[in-house]
Structure 1
Amino acid sequence: MHDTADLIAETYALGAGPWTLAPVTRGALGQIWKLSGDGEESGAGSRSSWAVKELLFGCDEDQVRREAALREASERLGIASPRLMPNREGAYVSYLDADSGASSDSSSGPGSGSSPSAGSHIKLYDWIHGTPADVSDPEVLDWFGRTMALLHRAGEGERELPSSWYERCPGDDEWAALHAEVRRAGMPWADELGRFIATSARELASWVTPSDPADLVTSHLDLQPQNVLVGPDGPVLLDWDNAGSASAERELARALFAWSGGNEGDVEAGVRVARAYRSAGGRAVVQGPRSFSMLFATALNYVRVQAECAIDPAVTAAQREFGSGQVVAAMGWVPELGVVSRLSAAVGQVW
């Protein structure tokens, strides 16, 4: 029987082992594993470490194709990112079939064992050696502003409307129904969720509106500092899974909030990123709190989906536990309108 690590190496023609897998980090949609080998020459080169992303909630193959296309277009413009590797059959996503001989602790489903579980979809990327981006470093801020401008150039000509994830958020009736289910499930944060729904969720929802179709680009859609590592050759942009249609203005606004420290409100960092973006030819302009519609929608939708996951009997216990923790954390991360207003006023002076 193949070990899971050896099976993945075989699927991607990485060469002889032995290969080992170690968990690295868990995100909302996937678990990252480090696949390590002896570095022998193979069809994929001589690398000895790779990043395996286990997709915990299934796979949208069209989304993977968009990711690959945008990453390749961005690379031609000089944006460094991990390669998304095709398998032996030329596909960018692979399925660990339960009959393939993969051995893992899958009793609790994907994301809960000692290696990717049989029945999971996986993607393989270059392993990037680097340190987290320092958002206090002016050079890193300048790099990010330039990079976002290049991304928007690479993604020009988008015609497909953005996903509803970025365009709308739960209405009062949807929140009320979810809150009732959370109460019935006896979640310890039910009262906190109720207060959140009555205050922050209601306030921010009033700013969530559909995007202007004339402002659409194909872009990364997760431009947060934690998705940048600084390697020997400079910053590298990671985690392209969400690539798709977005308003350039709204993605810029959302990224400025993230790179200025969120609710900590380092306005000068946001201004520096905006200047670098404009100097590099970025066409989007932030025009007050309404430009932050995407930020508000995604923040509110994240609370909703994690609350739904936390009480969903169809997912694993590990996934419910993760969702429960994320609900509590995310309610504290939701943008404060006052912080957003100060940031938008400051960066508005750039244009």
Structure 2
Amino acid sequence: MREHHVKSIIEDVCMHSSLGDLVAEPERTSGGLLHKMYEVETTTGKYAIKLLNPQIMQRPQALINYIQSEKIARFLSAEIPAVNAIDVNGEILQKVDSQYYLMFNWVEGTTLTPTEITNSHCEKIGGILAAIHEAKVSELDVHLEKNVELPEINWDEYLRKGEEQEAEWVPVLQENRDQLYEWNSRAAAAENVISLREVISHRDLDPKNVLWHKDSPALIDWESAGLINPIHDLLDTAIYWSENDDGDLEKGRFLSFLEGYEKVGGVIKADWRRTADYRMYGTLAWLEYNMKRSLWMECTDREEQELRTKEVTAALSTLKKYAQIIPELLIWLDNDR
């Protein structure tokens, strides 16, 4: 998206939402891999404006999902430091012309790099995750669909299409084809155990979605919020916060996260083997998402296509490393707590 076009859209957004006039050029800031976030300063204040990906907003459930996820963030903000979108005339999700967007009051803070994360940070986020899982959400006005049965992904079809388009990731996909089917099968086999209990959660509470200011966290980007098995969510999030620069897990940080979770009342009772297997599916689905867009399926933007092509290789690397560390991870969970 060209900068002069972005400024025009932001100006229309400010007018539509009565934010005042721009007093500085909009600055692109980290907004994740799916959307574009801008720091916007106007005559009425400072805001973060997220321009939502048009391709994603064409999905049938997209509008409902964004509205419900922001309702979850707003509800939980009474209990935890959740950052939720500003509503205008009672509407959370805004639209000007064909562009959907969300607005937030600007929150000071920075995300932590793997080298900056300490045991204390992990314990604190573990406690917040427990508070989310234990929240009494019976009064929350949302209708959330239960997670559907995990499909088996047709990796051979993506391999065929990749070969047709001479995608750069074809060799590494060929090399790992059998493992991808095995990992998919293991995740599906664990589904019956994992689906027995579900709670509402953020579902993407990794370090990029927490801003820190003077050792106080603020939880952002709630678009993935919904139902999830609490033990799956705990394992997933503890791993995110325990990874170092090389993608290896730091045992002290991992156990500190679980300790923080239990201190706030989180109950840890799990079939860790099945939970660890089930966790693979999230990355498998992310791999498929990126392959589709790398192959120009559900993608019309060159910049996004190039980004997704790189993400295919990164997702495969993540899967391989995770499969390798599962045995050690299970020892930590079963013997070292």
User: How far off is 1:218 after superposition?
Assistant: 1.2
1:325-350, CA deviations, whole angstroms, 9 ceiling, x for partnerless residues? 11112111225223123223313357
Tell me if structure 1 keeps the 8 A contact 2:126–2:238: no
1:137 paired to 2:114: no
Name the aligned partner's letter for residue 254 of structure 1.
D
1:121 paired to 2:119: no
1:194-222, CA deviations, whole angstroms, 9 ceiling, x for partnerless residues? 11222255245413332544410111110
Tell me if structure 2 keeps the 8 A contact 1:159–1:213: no
Rounded to whole Å, the distance in 1 between the matches of 2:255 and 2:86 is 36
Match of 2:41 among 33, 36, 41: 36
**SS where residue 48 of structure 1 aligns?**
strand
Match of 1:324 among 309, 316, 320: 309
Match of 1:153 among 134, 140, 153: 134
1:232-277, CA deviations, whole angstroms, 9 ceiling, x for partnerless residues? 4711111100011111111111112211217402122111100110
CA pair 269-83 structure 1, distance change in 2 beyond 3 A = same
Tell me if structure 2 keeps the 8 A contact 1:35–1:50: yes
Rounded to whole Å, the distance in 1 between the matches of 2:196 and 2:242 is 27
**SS where residue 130 of structure 1 aligns?**
coil
Structure 1 stretches lacking a partner, 5+ long: 41-46, 98-118
Rounded to whole Å, the distance in 2 between the matches of 1:324 and 1:268 is 34
Match of 2:177 among 176, 188, 197: 197
Match of 1:261 among 243, 259, 271: 243
Structure 2 stretches lacking a partner, 5+ long: none
Question: TM-score when scaled to structure 1?
Answer: 0.81
Backbone CA RMSD of aligned residues: 2.7
User: How far off is 1:293 after superposition?
Assistant: 4.2
Task: State the partner residue of 1:290.
Answer: 274
Rounded to whole Å, the distance in 2 between the matches of 1:197 and 1:282 is 38
Rounded to whole Å, the distance in 2 between the matches of 1:322 and 1:6 is 27
**SS where residue 206 of structure 1 aligns?**
helix
Matches within 5 A, 1:100-249: 119-133=98-112, 136-154=117-135, 160=144, 162-164=146-148, 168=150, 170-171=152-153, 174-203=154-183, 205-208=185-188, 209-210=190-191, 212-232=194-214, 234-249=216-231
Question: TM-score when scaled to structure 2?
Answer: 0.84
Match of 2:294 among 291, 299, 310: 310
CA pair 266-201 structure 1, distance change in 2 beyond 3 A = farther
1:272-324, CA deviations, whole angstroms, 9 ceiling, x for partnerless residues? 10011011111243432311344201101111111111112652222211111
Rounded to whole Å, the distance in 2 between the matches of 1:243 and 1:95 is 21
User: How far off is 1:169 after superposition?
Assistant: 5.2
Tell me if structure 2 keeps the 8 A contact 1:146–1:277: yes
Tell me if structure 2 keeps the 8 A contact 1:133–1:235: no
1:75 paired to 2:57: no
User: How far off is 1:56 after superposition?
Assistant: 4.0
Task: State the partner residue of 2:331.
Answer: 345
**SS where residue 181 of structure 1 aligns?**
helix
CA pair 321-260 structure 1, distance change in 2 beyond 3 A = same
Rounded to whole Å, the distance in 1 between the matches of 2:325 and 2:156 is 27
Tell me if structure 2 keeps the 8 A contact 1:287–1:348: no
Name the aligned partner's letter for residue 182 of structure 1.
G
CA pair 153-290 structure 1, distance change in 2 beyond 3 A = same
1:99-151, CA deviations, whole angstroms, 9 ceiling, x for partnerless residues? xxxxxxxxxxxxxxxxxxxx321111222221223653222111101000011
Match of 2:63 among 57, 61, 64: 61
Tell me if structure 1 keeps the 8 A contact 2:74–2:82: no
Q: Give aligned-pair identity as a percent.
A: 15
Name the aligned partner's letter for residue 340 of structure 1.
I
Equivalenced residues, count: 317
Match of 2:255 among 271, 281, 284: 271
Name the aligned partner's letter for residue 63 of structure 1.
N
Which deviates more from structure 2 when the two are superposed, residues 120-129 or residues 206-215? Answer: 206-215
CA pair 215-94 structure 1, distance change in 2 beyond 3 A = same
